[in-house]
Chain A
Amino acid sequence: MSIVSRLDSFRKQFVKNKFLFFMALAIMVWYVIFRYIPYYWNLIAFKEFSYAKGFWGSPWIGFGNFKALFQDALFLRVLRNTLVISALKIGIGFPFPILLALFLNEVFSRTYRKTIQTITFIPFFISWVIYASIMYAILSPSVGMLNVLIEKLGGKGIYFLASEAWFRPLLVASEITKNSGYFAVIYMAALAGVDQEIYEAAICDGANLFQRIWHVTLPGIASVITILFILRLGQLLTVGFEQVYILYSPMVYDVGDVIETFNYRQGILGGRFAYTTAIGLFKSAIGFVLVLGSNAVLKKLTEYGLW
């Protein structure tokens, strides 16, 4: 198709759907103003920012802030923590809503299914502040329900939120209990699109429950799983600021201090804006490479991908 005919086709499309184009235009303008134009100010990451000289006058130092980043002993620790916690959340947390959706899909009792779905979905709408309060009430070493139970059974109470051994498992567990219901709904929606005749054919062929799940259900939602997995990998260096900030304390910095909390302390509280912009750019670059890389790999393996 020549350029002229393409333009002609676009013109016809535009005339036909002009209102849709105008609606899209508003969104594009929003993106340009709030997402693309601010990119320019990322250049501060390559400057030695001075309050006196401002953004324009501060001297250019190339990769100086990035070098400082990798010489900062605390940054290397938060990078390690971020990777470990994120890997745990992906490794354990990512399959959980899939399993929940599969379970709910197989439950015959509508009332039971709706009840479970509602119970698992509600925590998603509770803020981390409230959720943390509930966790304190359960895990408190002096009055927490769990510790009371442990002591009644003859054990010794555990200061869960101040324990290096328990902090990461608690982050993963709280993430799963809070967000699994929400993601399960996405998989449930995908499951609704799987052709029922394939199930019937599988039953006729003598497939048991697990064989039906393995050979029919999972392939049926594989594209959704793949897309969500790629997007999740792009967030590998994003653990969730609110969750960690509310739950952590200096007692667990060694295992729980992550890039986002480090960035908050250095940037917002400490005023080191150039340094923390460099951290942000580093995070984005890693996320970008991971999305591209995982998309390419998964496309080869599963034929599904983002584009």
Chain B
Amino acid sequence: MKKSKILLVSLCLFFLAAMMLSATGGQEMETVTLRWMWLPEAMGDFENGPFVAALQEKFPEVNFQWEPLLYSAYKEKFPVLMASGDLPDIYRTNAQSYLPQLVDGNLAAPLDDVLAKVGKDIVGNARDGHLAFGQYGGKQYAIAGSYSLKYFAQNIRMDWLDNLGLAVPVTLDEFREVARSFTFSDPDNNGKDDTYGTAFRQNINFIDSWFHAFGVAPNHHQIGIWRVRGGKHTNDWVQPEMKEALMNLADMYEEGVIHPESLTFDWNQWWGAYLQNKIGMWYHQPRRLSEMNSSLKKAGVADAKMWPIAPPKGPYGQGTSDEGQPWGVFFSGASKHLEKAVEVYNYTYTQEFFLKAKGEIDYAFAPKELNEKGWPVYYTYEEALSDPDYEERRKEVLYSSIGTGWTLENPNMTNTWPDRDLAKHVYQQFQNTLGGAQIEGNELADKWAVTSSKAVPVPADAKYFVNLQAMFREIATKIVSGKDANQVWNEWLAFYKANGGPEIEQQVNELIPVK
């Protein structure tokens, strides 16, 4: 009797212990903490927004730790975060800038296997060719955003052309002639000599269309454009055509048709000069044309019409630069929950998430309301221009979304969605957000964009790129501002050769196949 009692008590204790262990083990299995970093322009009430709510509803077992890093501090703080090795499970950064260091430091996890397992929506909905921007050494390390990389165009003040009775310029010479008229013939009829043909934005930035007329370009992020010449990847920075392009700009600068202060303009000064009705030609994104024109109109220029046109046709070509520096999402190499992190991120590409988040996913597009089916209806182009609530609403969406690769403008974005009617609705919504200038601009950008043949950095970039970039900026501005072009150019070639240029070229040609 005594033995059986002991046995009974022992059995009870055993089952109790097993249940407790099982419960504890279960909890450990279920509770997962994921840190997520993105780069907002300003802090909003994201924790109470539909984006976060949708994620938390789907993944109750995940304890999300949100770690926004303000974009204004990103350039300084991100390298320090890298050095500390304390990167979150999911984080956003620039694939072009840091890929070698991230891979070298095991700060970015290889994703091929885990994408195959839990990332079918990411892969299925990726924009054509975009996954390549996150590849390094044959492995996938990042999910580049699916926004259009071909979104820069040459724009011109059509109202100024009309005022002066000029035709839309086509060739480089015609562009130069129009720039001259914009500068010296009072295109805005205000009786003052206060306008210019075009402008740089801080050194020689944001005028790539003029460079492409010479078959070279610095790229607006000044990371250089690479092209295949003679069966090899070559850097535009050191081609003789670059010297020609710089000398041509120097000539224009000397003549006064480029805003004289623009070599030192920061972003605000540059944008401000356009909004003050001072400059006639603008190299920028068509998606911002409505903002430009409505701002000019609000400032009293009733007939303002900045409009996209084909880039200047020059002696060696014609073109605009593509974004060249895609932003992407990485997953920490030290993450203990890589599969869960990718699964969560994959969810943001799904139809279910889109509906639960009420379409508040992409900062560039603000839903106005939900229709009778519960589908988001976005502000149309006309509504965005006239609705007084639009800007407030756009900011609300901008600051409450976490930043994913999702965007309305990606034609593949709904590939894996089961409800094809919803997919059509989403595509139609994107079309509704476009105005005439943007539609034309997007088509032109798509037609003329030149993509660098070097999509990702190479290991030698980590050592040499900063100095080479700084020196290129310096010699370019020196030549444009009138220094002896031959002497400066020869100094630049010598510097490039002695400071890692050939080493980078060698690695690019070894690591990136020539297509």
Contacts and interface: CB of A to CB of B under 8 A. Distances in A.
Interface of A: 49-52, 54, 72-74, 140-142, 159, 161-162, 249-251, 253-254, 265-273
A50 B105 contact: yes
Contacts of A49: 83
Contacts of B478: 251, 254
B101 A271 contact: yes
Contacts of A74: 467, 470-471
A250 B107 contact: no
Nearest to A55: B83
A269 B174 CA distance: 40
B83 A251 contact: no
Contacts of A251: 203, 263-264, 474, 477-478, 481
Contacts of A162: 263-264, 477, 481
A307 to B, nearest CB: 37
A72 B202 contact: no
A250 B79 contact: no
- Top 3 A-B residue pairs of the complex, sorted by shortest distance between their CB atoms: A51-B105, A270-B466, A271-B79
Interface of B: 75-76, 79-80, 82-83, 85, 98, 101-102, 104-107, 202-203, 259-261, 263-264, 462-463, 465-467, 470-471, 473-474, 476-478, 481, 495, 498-499
B96 to A, nearest CB: 14
B263 A269 contact: no
Contact of B105 (A52, A269, A270): A52
Nearest to B273: A142
A51 B105 CA distance: 4
18 contacts: A50-B104, A51-B101, A52-B106, A74-B471, A142-B261, A162-B264, A250-B473, A251-B263, A251-B264, A254-B478, A266-B467, A268-B80, A269-B75, A271-B79, A271-B83, A272-B463, A272-B466, A273-B79
A250 B260 contact: no
A51 B465 CA distance: 18
Contact of A253 (B462, B463, B474): B474
A159 B482 CA distance: 12
Contacts of B499: 73
A72 B260 contact: no
A85 B232 CA distance: 44
Nearest to B259: A142
Contacts of A253: 470, 473-474
Contacts of A273: 79, 83
B449 to A, nearest CB: 26
Nearest to A72: B467
Nearest to A267: B79
Contacts of B85: 51, 54
B264 A51 contact: no
B481 to A, nearest CB: 6
Contacts of B467: 72, 74, 266
B255 to A, nearest CB: 15
B75 A51 contact: no
Contacts of B83: 49, 51, 271, 273
A143 to B, nearest CB: 9
Contacts of A73: 495, 498-499
A137 B251 CA distance: 27
B257 to A, nearest CB: 14
A251 B80 CA distance: 29
Given A74-B467, A250-B477, 18 more contacts: A50-B105, A51-B85, A51-B101, A52-B104, A52-B106, A159-B261, A162-B477, A249-B477, A250-B203, A251-B203, A251-B264, A265-B466, A266-B467, A268-B75, A269-B76, A269-B79, A271-B101, A272-B463
Nearest to A144: B261
A141 B481 CA distance: 14
A24 B466 CA distance: 45
A273 B260 CA distance: 37
B183 to A, nearest CB: 12
Nearest to B481: A251
A273 to B, nearest CB: 5
B457 to A, nearest CB: 12
A51 B104 contact: yes
Contact of B466 (A159, A250, A266): A266
Nearest to B80: A268
A190 B374 CA distance: 77
A161 B265 CA distance: 11
A249 B466 contact: no
A272 B101 CA distance: 11
B276 to A, nearest CB: 11
Contact of A268 (B79, B102, B463, B470): B79
Contact of B107 (A51, A265, A267): A51
Contacts of B203: 249-251
Contacts of B82: 51, 271
B260 A142 contact: yes
A271 B107 CA distance: 14
B435 to A, nearest CB: 33
Nearest to A264: B76
A212 B83 CA distance: 60
Contacts of A267: 79
A129 B470 CA distance: 23
Given A51-B82, A249-B203, A254 B474 contact: yes
A135 to B, nearest CB: 12
Contacts of A52: 104-106
Given A266-B466, A270-B466, A250 B76 contact: no
Contacts of B495: 73
Contacts of B76: 268-269
Given A50-B104, A51-B85, A74-B467, A250 B75 contact: no
Nearest to B84: A54
Nearest to B269: A136
Contacts of A161: 264
Contacts of A72: 467
A159 B254 CA distance: 13
A17 B259 CA distance: 68
Contacts of A54: 85
Contacts of B260: 141-142, 159
Nearest to B204: A250
Nearest to A262: B470
B450 to A, nearest CB: 24
